[in-house]
Structure 1
């Protein structure tokens, strides 16, 4: 059995076709993905929005608003008052709200101390007409002004709004920045309105230091947090689906191991059939050698994706290596079942090692946006089909590692793949036991 294991191992290492599909192909495709999608994550980063700030009479009457916008623009101290704003639109311009920070003023403007990211690239103008001219010539995507009630309003140009949220949206950075601005401007406006109302009813609070300190504590009610084990990565899904397809292609090794032991498919099979070593031990040695080769090959591809393409694994690289071992075991079991199918030539069975992974990968999201949406739809509305799709389950292995806080979902997915392996192996053994030859 050991000799059979070693010889099968050597044969697999000389199989250039299998080595290509398990190492070269995923590395080449991962390199292509990295080149095409490398800047995709940058589309979701916060970048300063170019705006015009209208410094009219209302603006000058609200010193807290100036400190607020300065904080968002990265001017002066990093601390300021955080608030929020209402949405107002005029002249067909699209309106939205945003995020910022500002300082407390003695005239009743609310102030909250907080450190914020630079969200605005602000240029001052004297009137609304000048601000609209900036929107018209494209030097600003929006303008900020203070209304008669002291609320900060952000108005976007129609062109900018369509680029961020229209059917042909191209400015994803702007959309993310405006979404971030929305929360802080809204907080500023609500805090400012509440402070003015309270001071109107209790003017003595203006002299109380504890009152102004309590307003500053509002910043502590909002904290940055994450709901997943690791920061979501928009590119990772493509690479995980690629690993799912590459793992399924590993079944080529076990197909060859099974067919080489069948007397009706090759001369080698005839010799092995009459050899003193039993068929079961021959198949076990071939299966283990195939599993080892596929596991090592796919681990090399995983290392390239992780460290060269910089696809995150949530700091759980050892678990990812274990995931590859489980996935390659399932693939070899799948290959054993296919290799045991009677009546199919070896070339046909080898052809299935490409056809099956390519087909199943469509439903795991490998082929772009449409495939991703199809995969999501199946997971939501037909979860049974996602459960029985080996490519989807291998993809889920790496999702479980990256996003979940504990290893229970990962262990569950491993259990599903091991159950698949048992079914595949049982079917393969059942078919092999029924095979008989009239003559050799």
Structure 2
């Protein structure tokens, strides 16, 4: 099997089509993605967004909230370039605010809860649009508004704590000036994710998922070449004393190695040139690359074992499946990313059947989770997929018989 393995490795690296689509194309795709996404997170301008303000009894108990809304809804507000931050419309209760959201008059509303903290509610459609990066102006506005509200809540909470612990401090002018001017802080900033989230990272994750499954076509082609009715090499194998598992196993391991090296090249390019950080978890990413390419090679083995279909048809079938599944992984822009988010929100179990999405999830798990539990869970899903694909390939190859060569 060692000789078969080495021969197939040489064949893979000498095949221009395999080298281009598996090794070069993912790098080209990532470079194109970097060009299209460059500047997405920079240079955004503030555009005033319509918000309802619930001016009820709880709101009137906190005069500073009304002053804040007045300042950011004024044309002379101190936001970037002196623009308005919101277009405020006053309502008397939250029901009226919700009606305005349903009628698409506002993208959200602001209200005061029972604890005296100002809160913001966004319409589902606008929250999804912001999350997918489909409207950067809304995202910038909501981020700035959240910062204003957080500052107001921090100041109010500080006054309450100090009033209970040491009321005398509230009579100190320097203390009050320090709180109101923002020169002091009484809270500690924490990170909710392992690294700083970016709007472009999900697209690069999807590129890695698609690139991984492209390698399945190489496996399908080499497995097909071992079949006696599809190639002259397969016919020679059939009359040789070499058992089936030797020639199939050698082809499988060779394409797994080839796919793994190719995906590592794409990962290094995205990691260094495109600037996608993983928070120092490159060794874990290496494990993800090895496991994901094993799953892709297993899928390619299943395609390659299909009887009566030529190698070209099997490779074309793999490309079709890969491109189709990449839609649901969000590869092709904000609209497909919305589809990905919608599936994740409403029917997440459908993503368990999508190998492209699961490979993409491996890198989500590495980057955005402190715990390795989600990563291990995704690895188990890929292991199950690999086992199913290999079992199907073994069953098909075992049952193939030829009347004549």
Q: Same fold (TM over 0.5)?
A: yes
1:180 corresponds to: 147
The two structures, once aligned, show a CA RMSD in angstroms of 3.7
Displacement, 1:384? 2.1
C-alpha contact (below 8 Å) 1:251/1:332 kept by paired residues: yes
Q: Does 1:24 align with 2:24?
A: yes
Q: Does 1:404 align with 2:404?
A: no
C-alpha contact (below 8 Å) 2:41/2:199 kept by paired residues: yes
- Change in Cα spacing, 1:305 to 1:84, as seen in structure 2 (3 Å) is farther
Give the alignment partner of residue 343 of structure 1, picking from 295, 308, 316. Answer: 308
Distance 2:2 2:353 in 1: 34
Distance 1:385 1:139 in 2: 45
- Change in Cα spacing, 1:96 to 1:321, as seen in structure 2 (3 Å) is farther
1:12 corresponds to: 12
- Change in Cα spacing, 1:96 to 1:437, as seen in structure 2 (3 Å) is farther
Distance 2:335 2:186 in 1: 40
C-alpha contact (below 8 Å) 2:366/2:372 kept by paired residues: yes
1:153 corresponds to: none
2:227 corresponds to: 262
C-alpha contact (below 8 Å) 2:256/2:293 kept by paired residues: yes
1:170 corresponds to: 137
Q: Does 1:313 align with 2:278?
A: yes
1:114-153 to structure 2, matched below 5 A, reads: 140-142=82-84
C-alpha contact (below 8 Å) 1:97/1:182 kept by paired residues: no
User: What are the ranges of 5 or more consecutive residues in structure 1 without an aligned counterpart?
Assistant: 50-82, 99-130, 144-160
Give the alignment partner of residue 236 of structure 1, picking from 186, 201, 220. Answer: 201
Displacement, 1:42? 2.7
Displacement, 1:179? 2.7
C-alpha contact (below 8 Å) 2:264/2:289 kept by paired residues: yes
1:422 corresponds to: 387
| Deviation digits for residues 385-421 of structure 1 (CA, Å, limit 9, x no counterpart) | 1111101100000000001112221111111101111
1:384 corresponds to: 349
2:240 aligns to what SS in structure 1?
Answer: coil
Distance 1:318 1:187 in 2: 40
For this pair of structures, how many residues does the alignment match?
Answer: 343
Q: Does 1:327 align with 2:292?
A: yes
2:89 corresponds to: none
2:66 corresponds to: 87
Distance 1:220 1:306 in 2: 36
Displacement, 1:187? 4.1
Distance 2:208 2:140 in 1: 29
Distance 2:22 2:291 in 1: 15
Distance 1:396 1:288 in 2: 25
Distance 1:32 1:289 in 2: 29
Displacement, 1:279? 1.0
Distance 2:373 2:253 in 1: 28
| Deviation digits for residues 288-336 of structure 1 (CA, Å, limit 9, x no counterpart) | 1110010001100100000011011121111111111111100100000
Distance 2:402 2:360 in 1: 41
2:2 corresponds to: 2
Q: Does 1:373 align with 2:338?
A: yes
Displacement, 1:23? 2.1
C-alpha contact (below 8 Å) 1:229/1:402 kept by paired residues: yes
2:254 aligns to what SS in structure 1?
Answer: helix
Give the alignment partner of residue 321 of structure 2, picking from 356, 375, 380. Answer: 356
| Deviation digits for residues 46-86 of structure 1 (CA, Å, limit 9, x no counterpart) | x999xxxxxxxxxxxxxxxxxxxxxxxxxxxxxxxxx9942
Displacement, 1:265? 0.5
2:65 aligns to what SS in structure 1?
Answer: coil
1:247 corresponds to: 212
- Change in Cα spacing, 1:236 to 1:210, as seen in structure 2 (3 Å) is closer
Displacement, 1:194? 9.8
TM (norm. structure 2) is: 0.74
C-alpha contact (below 8 Å) 1:43/1:173 kept by paired residues: no
Displacement, 1:221? 4.2
User: What are the ranges of 5 or more consecutive residues in structure 2 without an aligned counterpart?
Assistant: 48-61, 86-105, 108-121, 130-134
Distance 1:43 1:175 in 2: 16
Distance 2:169 2:202 in 1: 58
- Change in Cα spacing, 1:86 to 1:389, as seen in structure 2 (3 Å) is same
Distance 1:321 1:249 in 2: 18
- Change in Cα spacing, 1:340 to 1:169, as seen in structure 2 (3 Å) is closer
Between stretches 224-233 and 422-431, larger displacement belongs to 224-233
2:55 corresponds to: none
1:154-233 to structure 2, matched below 5 A, reads: 170=137, 172-188=139-155, 206=171, 221-233=186-198
- Change in Cα spacing, 1:371 to 1:96, as seen in structure 2 (3 Å) is farther
